[in-house]
Structure 1
């Protein structure tokens, strides 16, 4: 099969990290599946997917090396249609075709879209992408645009391949490299050198359970929060003139500080690095992991949140994938993302379909587990769920590296901190 002419260009720094061998667990398979009830126009879906892939170059992207990507003229994947006699057969077909194997980074095509027909008004529908070419913002943009294109195609409208107000991902990668080589990059190197001098290049570990052997021993700690936890967190954020995300991050840092007794502790947070022009509607991988630290004795919750918030303004402004750019700068920045590999998220439901992705159908999400699971990106992940019926903190951690007692001690302090009155 021919995919047309390919043009070459530089990869982004986030692509480099993945292509250089980082983050290779199954969590890099971003996907969602749902039963769709209602009339599904196969031809309209096929055309909508074709136009979507032609509109966004990252959907036609392949890789020669960590430094070089190529973008093909034609689409690399098409809608894959199957049929099944039973629901179990449909689920097995979806599992095999959509998530049965990880994407190969040296192959052509890093996306899949599959439909399994049960009858004229019931289909199992799934989309999968390698995390290399998408993040949560891009996933939501893709699903929304696919739905809009499908609705127009199903109505008989001709849909064009032009995008409005969005740069290509290749343009973003090229501009990023260009800016990094000049004053923009020098300013970031100066900032991160000063940041490392202040906080050091590693954080003190939580009490260890020993050395990891083989696959992570993934454990979960869940801690219920008061029913009004969301409003309390927002109130503390307003008092500090900060954001709820900074409040929960400061809470975890306060917990880690008490658990370790160290003068400085750190965690990593995700920053959607769409800071360069015309990237708001661009599909691709933009998320960068950057550190936030707490040092000294800033005082009570209010002062602590203000301290972390002030720091976050600069960290986000100067955000870059540190595990890649440190090689260019000759700096040791990677371990400043936290000696425990601790990561904090707030109300991130992950990839999925919000409502029905295709007009004229009703969606019922269904789980189709990937073989091997998703693993752990970090040994310690703190997720705050404040918008749920029962607000809670959920911690995934590697029990072979960090003791349960240490994790519970951090959560105890963090939970009290986040719902305090700021004093």
Structure 2
């Protein structure tokens, strides 16, 4: 090994290195792919093939130590000795052994029951294997010390193995995966047969790309690219508004989940037809529809979505493994309620402009444009839309005398880099798959699945009538006929957590009703009357009665009155104590605030408290006057829940009449 101080990181690598310093030990940039190997495996030949793959691609031999607070590149010189982790699950609990245990049960057992038990046992073994893979894939990397390419071979039987590969994103991207698939096949076949692999020499390595990128950034051309983005992103919204289930944490934790669905065949075919008829690609159609849907959720006509570009415009890098991808902020203007075809033309223009000016890394754009940074979200782009060309899980190929199947069903990725990522997967057939990754601190699975259902509905509507305006197309993308989508928002149109009071919107009609409401824990709407009868708190109008209910649920409080503090610093609460003995102390202001943090959003907790100090009988009389203490608010003790629900029109009339 020798350390190469002269090797620069590419701008994209510098970004990931910087993010790792902010939050070390994260797993949001872990990359995983796996194969099921059926046949007579030569494990030593496989280990040598993996080493030869790393010898061939310099990115797979890189680590990134820090020097005086700045990153450097350390490059292992080939040939390297690659370590292949191994786990043998053939004894004592292989699916075959478990199935045999079932078959050897007492003679009185029905044979069909034995077969069912064997199948269940095999399913349990597969689930355990997926859990093992999930845990292995989420092991963090130390960029300075760890080898950033890992491999783990799991032996399930003499002729069945699972090969798991893990990488840190700083050395690989999605477009590298097919290169690895193809070359590993050739390298294994050569090692197993005992001869030299016949692979064409690489025209350039990743280190060449990093040098070229850094030279370009120092050229006068960089200023031309920056001028384009200054104009394109001037005044862009800093944050995308999505129907979150919970308030955004003050610091991102990158906790994620994912799932996959497949676009219906008729929708996939229609997307292709619409694209061909309008000088566009299916990706452009799909991206435009997704952006229109986000605009509908946000009640906005200015939306920014991050698009991931391959970054391999120069042909000499076409077969090089490395981290080439670039995040491009694509801004779409939907003001004036354009037709979908007009919106599609706007997307095409925005994409062509972005591809032409893709020199600067995303973080360099944020720095040079002086965009606001906030630890709670990624600046400018919180939603990603990407097109990937990957063979689907279950697809097969041959490595020498092995049958190889892409494996990974049930393997979950428990981290994410953005609020929401939608990956359009093209697998060589006529259809498309969707891989969805989402931030679990913000969203529940059902909410994100609802977004995907809305998206598919919108795609179907768009392909059926692309000349219609986007407002017509998005009018009823959610729920069957006879249902109305309702949301609770503040005065600026920002969704509020369930339980908080705000303006009531009929989303399907795009109408602000002029009334206030909250969403109960059971999903029904609780109406609170017009705006003018409520308090105003930090831009929101809130029913004082709701805060008073929660205050009165504290055992020491008989009743409460809430008003705006004359100083303008928040809310003031006047409290009547519940009947008590003279020696019982009333909770302090700090104790009240501590208790209320479990029951109310922070901005609804009063900042000052005044107790009416009456004797026992007076307190009891006052409590009677105010109707005694109200029951503890059930919803106040729960985590915030979704703010967007679907109610029937009849239910809505019952609540708001």
- TM-score category, normalised to shorter length: 0.7 to 0.9
Query: Residue in 1 aligned with 2:525?
Result: none
Query: Residue in 2 aligned with 1:50?
Result: 51
Q: Using a 3 Å threshold, how does the CA distance of structure 1 residues 190 and 352 change in structure 2: closer, same or farther?
A: farther
1:52-71 to structure 2, matched below 5 A, reads 52-65=53-66, 67-71=71-75
Query: Residue in 2 aligned with 1:107?
Result: 145
Give the CA deviation at 1:253: 1.5
Local SS of the residue matching 2:141: coil
Local SS of the residue matching 1:267: strand
- Residue 73 (structure 2) pairs with residue 73 (structure 1): no
Give the CA deviation at 1:138: 0.8
User: Is 1:84–1:116's contact at 8 Å kept on the other side of the alignment?
Assistant: yes
- Residue 241 (structure 2) pairs with residue 205 (structure 1): yes
Local SS of the residue matching 1:259: helix
Corresponding pairs, count: 417
CA–CA distance in structure 2, aligned partners of residues 324 and 252 of structure 1: 24
CA–CA distance in structure 2, aligned partners of residues 121 and 393 of structure 1: 33
- Residue 411 (structure 2) pairs with residue 411 (structure 1): no
Query: Residue in 2 aligned with 1:268?
Result: 306
Query: Residue in 1 aligned with 2:210?
Result: 173
User: Is 2:59–2:321's contact at 8 Å kept on the other side of the alignment?
Assistant: yes
Give the CA deviation at 1:140: 1.5
Give the CA deviation at 1:134: 0.8
CA–CA distance in structure 2, aligned partners of residues 297 and 235 of structure 1: 27
CA–CA distance in structure 1, aligned partners of residues 194 and 344 of structure 2: 54
Local SS of the residue matching 2:19: coil
The C-alpha deviation readout for 1:76-105, integer Å capped at 9, x for no partner, is 633334433343599499649953622211
Local SS of the residue matching 2:417: coil
Give the CA deviation at 1:272: 0.8
Q: Mind listing any 5+ residue stretches in structure 2 that lack a counterpart?
A: 95-124, 468-657
- Residue 167 (structure 2) pairs with residue 129 (structure 1): yes
CA–CA distance in structure 1, aligned partners of residues 137 and 357 of structure 2: 36
User: Is 1:225–1:392's contact at 8 Å kept on the other side of the alignment?
Assistant: yes
Local SS of the residue matching 1:44: helix
Q: Using a 3 Å threshold, how does the CA distance of structure 1 residues 327 and 366 change in structure 2: closer, same or farther?
A: closer
Query: Residue in 2 aligned with 1:5?
Result: 2
User: Mean Cα displacement is larger for which, 185-194 or 322-331?
Assistant: 322-331
Query: Residue in 1 aligned with 2:285?
Result: 247
Q: Using a 3 Å threshold, how does the CA distance of structure 1 residues 244 and 201 change in structure 2: closer, same or farther?
A: same
Q: Using a 3 Å threshold, how does the CA distance of structure 1 residues 343 and 172 change in structure 2: closer, same or farther?
A: same
CA–CA distance in structure 2, aligned partners of residues 415 and 397 of structure 1: 21
CA–CA distance in structure 2, aligned partners of residues 254 and 357 of structure 1: 43
User: Is 2:255–2:415's contact at 8 Å kept on the other side of the alignment?
Assistant: no
Q: Using a 3 Å threshold, how does the CA distance of structure 1 residues 246 and 278 change in structure 2: closer, same or farther?
A: same
Query: Residue in 2 aligned with 1:185?
Result: 222
Q: Using a 3 Å threshold, how does the CA distance of structure 1 residues 143 and 347 change in structure 2: closer, same or farther?
A: closer
Give the CA deviation at 1:282: 1.0
User: Is 1:64–1:70's contact at 8 Å kept on the other side of the alignment?
Assistant: yes
Q: Using a 3 Å threshold, how does the CA distance of structure 1 residues 93 and 114 change in structure 2: closer, same or farther?
A: farther
Give the CA deviation at 1:319: 1.9
CA–CA distance in structure 1, aligned partners of residues 436 and 156 of structure 2: 38
User: Is 2:88–2:156's contact at 8 Å kept on the other side of the alignment?
Assistant: yes
Q: Mind listing any 5+ residue stretches in structure 1 that lack a counterpart?
A: none
User: Rg bigger for which structure?
Assistant: 2
CA–CA distance in structure 1, aligned partners of residues 221 and 56 of structure 2: 30
Q: Using a 3 Å threshold, how does the CA distance of structure 1 residues 337 and 265 change in structure 2: closer, same or farther?
A: farther
CA–CA distance in structure 1, aligned partners of residues 290 and 233 of structure 2: 20
Query: Residue in 1 aligned with 2:343?
Result: 304
User: Is 1:266–1:337's contact at 8 Å kept on the other side of the alignment?
Assistant: no
Query: Residue in 2 aligned with 1:326?
Result: 365
The C-alpha deviation readout for 1:174-229, integer Å capped at 9, x for no partner, is 110001110231221111111112x5252552455552348578688999865411
TM superposition score normalised by structure 1? 0.83
Give the CA deviation at 1:235: 1.2
- Which structure exhibits the higher relative contact order, with contacts defined as CA atoms closer than 8 Å and separated by 6 or more residues? 1
Q: Using a 3 Å threshold, how does the CA distance of structure 1 residues 352 and 27 change in structure 2: closer, same or farther?
A: farther
Q: Using a 3 Å threshold, how does the CA distance of structure 1 residues 354 and 331 change in structure 2: closer, same or farther?
A: farther
C-alpha RMSD of matched pairs (Å): 3.9
Give the CA deviation at 1:157: 1.7
- Residue 415 (structure 2) pairs with residue 382 (structure 1): no
Q: Using a 3 Å threshold, how does the CA distance of structure 1 residues 352 and 102 change in structure 2: closer, same or farther?
A: farther
CA–CA distance in structure 2, aligned partners of residues 313 and 378 of structure 1: 24
Query: Residue in 1 aligned with 2:27?
Result: 26
TM superposition score normalised by structure 2? 0.56
Local SS of the residue matching 1:26: coil
Give the CA deviation at 1:311: 1.2
Give the CA deviation at 1:145: 0.5
